[in-house]
Structures are given as C-alpha cells and as structure tokens.
C-alpha cells in the first residue's frame, strides 16, 4: 500500500464551506487536486492507495479526512465532487472529540486527529518519507514496501515540521529539479513507484 499525508495548514475545518470559492476556503482547490492525483488513474482508482488530509485551518482544527482507494465508491475525480465530500466529512465530524473517528461514506473517514499524531504512528510501522525540493533524488533512493509520504500545501512544510519529521527518522526526497505544485507530486511519485514495483 502507498499512503500520502497532505499537511493543509490553512484548509478550513468548519463545515460551512463555500463550494464556489474553494481558493478562499484555505486552498481547498489544492487539497481536492491532490486527492484526485493521489487516487485516480484514467478510468481507474488506485485501490492500493490512501490519502490523509490533515487540515488545520479555522475553526474546528485539527481534522483529518482520509480517502481509501480500496473501498472508495461513487466519487468522480473532479474537484467539486471531492470538495462536496470534504464538506460532508467536516459536517459529520463537527462534534468529534479528540481521538474520535467517523465513517463518512464508503472509502472516506473523518477524525479529530492532529498531523503529528498520525505521522508519529506511521513512523513506527512504515518507511516515512517527506517530499521536499532539497531531498535525495527519488531515482537513487531505496524504497521499502508500503511507504508513507508527507507533503506540504502551497506554504510548504514549516521548518518546525521538518525538524519533527527528522527527529522521527523520516527520509527527505526530491522528485526533480523544479519546485512543483503539491498536486503534481503524487502523480510523479506513483509513476516512480510503478516503475520500481513498490506497493
Ligand atoms: C508548492 S510546494 C511548496 C512551495 C513552498 N513555497 C516551499 O518553499 O516549500 C508544495 C509541496 O510540494 C512538494 N514538492 C514540491 N516540489 C517538490 C520537489 N521537486 N520534490 C519533492 N517534493 C516537492 C513539497 O512537499 C512541498 O511542500
């Protein structure tokens, strides 16, 4: 399995999302594109992939919305459909207490859980990697099976988050010579792993 964790620092966590202004809702447009690029191929879902969106914008942080390719059903890859699902998740999860999780629909869960908590859990069971333009080249890096990737939103990963990841023993890799959009990264990462047959 491949897992992605997107740190969406400004993504709104209260359910009153304006679907006509995803940019203004803490760059939910970007979040939806990352979810789509992590889970979809042409006419196909990547059943071996999970993406967690760690949202810490106003007013009910932290919120973790997780999408599971293995059980995902009925959502198309377009931004608006994914945004509607996130809105529904935030609505269902509005009164969760810290540590609680709820099913939203097949393949989607919402939890009141912080980015740091999830990342720490993953570091104990999986090869934890963060995507950064100044890391080791993806083409020389030795992957283990079931890797977990952390990536930032338009703000990138804060320095203190990088230090936290370093302390957990996470590896830092780059996908190429240019700084990419967050939504480009899962596609490139998947392609590299497909070629190396790392699942
Ligand atoms: C738009 S970039 C962030 C740019 C931000 N201004 C910064 O300085 O980090 C969003 C995220 O994509 C990932 N990313 C972008 N380019 C990358 C590259 N060449 N290699 C690996 N990851 C990259 C990183 O996780 C980054 O946090």
Mean of all residue pLDDT scores within the chain: 97
Cα 150 to ligand 1 centre (Å): 10
**What CATH number does the domain containing 115 carry?**
3.40.1280.10
Separation of alpha carbons 2 and 50, rounded Å: 6
Q: CB of 149 within 8 A of CB of 129?
A: yes
Q: For position 54, what pLDDT does the model report?
A: 98
Domain count across the chain: 1
CA of 151, closest atom in ligand 1: 25
Q: Could you tell me the distance, in angstroms and rounded to a whole number, from the CA of residue 97 to the centre of ligand 1?
A: 32
Task: With CA atoms as reference, report the closest residue to 86 among 19, 7, 148, 157.
Answer: 19
Coil vs helix vs strand at 18 = coil
Which residues span the domain enclosing 91? 1-199
pTM of the model: 0.97
| CB proximity list for 110: less than 8 A, separation 6 or greater | 63, 64, 65, 66, 89, 90, 92, 93, 96, 101, 102, 104
SS3 assignment, position 55 = strand
- The answer to whether 112 and 100 have CB atoms below 8 angstroms apart is yes
**What percentage of the chain carries pLDDT values higher than 70?**
100
Tell which one of 6, 29, 133, 161 to mutate to probe ligand 1, the residue whose CB is within 8 A of the most ligand atoms: 133
pLDDT per residue as tens digits for the range 61-101: 999 999 999 999 877 889 999 999 999 999 999 999 999 99
List residues near ligand 1 (CB under 6 A): 131-133, 151-152, 154, 156-157, 174-176, 178-182, 185
Would you put residue 100 in left (φ > 0), alpha (ψ -120 to 50) or beta? beta
């Amino acid at each position: 399995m491949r897992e992605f964790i997107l740190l969406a620092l400004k993504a709104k966590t209260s359910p009153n999302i304006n679907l006509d202004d995803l940019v203004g809702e803490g760059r939910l447009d970007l979040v939806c594109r990352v979810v789509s690029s992590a889970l979809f191929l042409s006419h196909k879902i990547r059943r071996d992939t999970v993406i967690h969106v760690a949202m810490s914008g106003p007013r009910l942080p932290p919120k973790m919305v997780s999408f599971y390719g293995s059980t995902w059903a009925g959502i198309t890859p377009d931004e608006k459909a994914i945004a509607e699902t996130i809105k529904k998740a935030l609505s269902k999860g509005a009164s969760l207490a810290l540590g609680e999780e709820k099913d939203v629909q097949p393949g989607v869960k919402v939890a009141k859980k912080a980015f740091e908590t999830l990342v720490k859990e993953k570091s104990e069971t999986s090869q934890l990697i963060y995507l950064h333009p100044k890391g080791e080249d993806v083409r020389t890096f030795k992957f283990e099976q079931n890797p977990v990737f952390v990536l930032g939103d338009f703000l990138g990963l804060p320095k203190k988050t990088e230090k936290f990841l370093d302390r957990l023993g996470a590896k830092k890799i780059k996908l190429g010579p240019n700084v990419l959009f967050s939504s480009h990264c899962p596609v490139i990462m998947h392609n590299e792993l497909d070629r190396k047959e790392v699942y």
